[in-house]
């Protein structure tokens, strides 16, 4: 699971100013957190349902629940 995130999804999402983090792996549920455009961008729903979920599903199978949490971006303070 972590290998798919580190080697496939992470680099792919970084190109779109996003990131993904594995939060929890249980017997019947996997929880990841996405930030950036993958969380709140125009095509975010497609990225989550059409890219992230299918990639994770290949590892965990069809019977496992995949929960994708959206992290609210931190505001950069002006110096």
Can you give the pLDDT at residue 74?
Answer: 67
pLDDT tens for each residue of the chain, 79 residues long: 899 999 999 999 999 899 999 999 998 999 999 999 999 989 999 999 999 999 999 999 999 999 999 997 666 667 6
Give the span between the Cα atoms of 72 and 74, in whole angstroms: 7
Give the span between the Cα atoms of 68 and 29, in whole angstroms: 11
Give the span between the Cα atoms of 67 and 57, in whole angstroms: 11
Residues in the chain: 79
Can you give the pLDDT at residue 79?
Answer: 63
Can you give the pLDDT at residue 52?
Answer: 97
Can you give the pLDDT at residue 72?
Answer: 77
Is the domain 2-70 a CATH 3.30.300.130 member? yes
The structure's pTM equals: 0.86
């Amino acid at each position: 699971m972590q290998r798919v995130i580190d080697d496939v999804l992470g680099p792919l999402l970084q190109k779109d100013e996003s990131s993904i983090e594995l939060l929890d792996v249980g017997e019947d549920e996997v929880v990841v957190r996405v930030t950036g455009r993958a969380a709140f961008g125009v095509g975010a729903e497609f990225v989550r349902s059409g890219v992230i979920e299918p990639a994770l599903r290949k590892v965990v199978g069809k019977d496992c629940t995949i929960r994708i949490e959206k992290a609210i971006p931190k505001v950069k303070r002006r110096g």
